Amino acid sequence: MLKSDDNILKVLFFGDLVGRPGRNVIKDFLEKNKQNYDFIIANVENASHGFGLTEKNYNELSEYGLNCMTSGNHIWDKKEIFNYIDNADKLIRPFNYPENTQGSGSRVFEIQNGIKIGVINVLGRVFMAPIESQWTLVRDEIKRLKEITPIVILDFHAEATAEKICFARFCSELGLSAFFGTHTHVQTADEQIVNNMGYITDAGFCGTKDSVIGMDYKTSLNRFTTVIPERYDVADGNVVQTNAVEVEINPISGHTVAIKRVFLLSDKVKEADNEK
């Protein structure tokens, strides 16, 4: 049985997890709310000290209840990723990297009652490092996944708002079920349903509220005022935020029938380990 009384699939998508505060935020949230959702996704490219994802943190996040982890350009920052990504069956790297890149850019997940969910992760190109154009690649991949399941979800990790909006409408015309923007870490107030597809420009981030998109203010200030390279550090503070998006999807048609932003502030949760 699905979680909803009216047989609707309930999906939760967490915006970018930033460091240990972000990991602890979703651990606390899922301990209290995991039972309310049929499928849970989070963007994890900043989950380990703000850059990349260690295998240890991948395993921890799996234990917390994540069914799928999407990522972005920072997924390669922890070099151990190359040792485990091919065996990490919940993790997706951006689809539009070159063909022989390790890992998978899309996956099909099967949940209860034989329901299948396709998930794609894609990088934008505007104000981002050069990468293969997503338009034709994703069109063909959505078509392929729609032959397997009517439910297809996409995380578009991109900088430019216009690119997100345009690409989202393009995907909606191909039958995509839900489109979540990530990367800019600021939750937008434009959640809506476009051509039966749930949409938000950016899901936001999970981590320390008193920060610069999850990072320490002082190191951010130094970078902007001196223009001298300095390693960002994950912010620490007493208040953390949870940014997520809930969508309700008809499992037969694959259409989103409801969408809602989640924005919660809470006291800092107990630290799980000594890593940032």
Q: Is residue 200 included in any domain, yes or no?
A: yes
pLDDT, tens digit, 9 for 90 and up, residues 44-77: 999 999 999 999 999 999 999 999 999 999 999 9
CB 151 within 8 A of CB 177: yes
Report the SS3 class of residue 265.
strand
Q: Which two tokens stand for residue 154?
A: 């996409």
CATH of the domain at 66: 3.60.21.10
Please identify which of the residues 74, 183, 185, 255 carries the catalytic annotation. Answer: 74
Sign of CA dihedral 151, 155, 156, 162: positive
Is 157 among the residues known to form the active site? no
Domain-located, residue 144? yes
Structural domain boundaries enclosing 192: 9-208+242-267
Q: Is residue 176 part of a domain?
A: yes
Domain assignment present for residue 126? The answer is: yes
Q: Check residue 130 and give its pLDDT.
A: 92
Q: 2 in a domain, yes or no?
A: no
Per-residue pLDDT of the chain (276 residues; tens, 9 = 90+): 577 667 999 999 999 999 999 999 999 999 999 999 999 999 999 999 999 999 999 999 999 999 999 999 999 999 999 999 999 999 999 999 999 999 999 999 999 888 999 999 999 999 999 999 999 999 999 999 999 999 999 999 999 999 999 999 999 999 999 999 999 999 999 999 999 999 999 999 999 999 999 999 999 999 999 989 888 899 999 999 999 999 999 999 999 999 999 999 999 866 545 455
Number of domains the chain is built from: 1
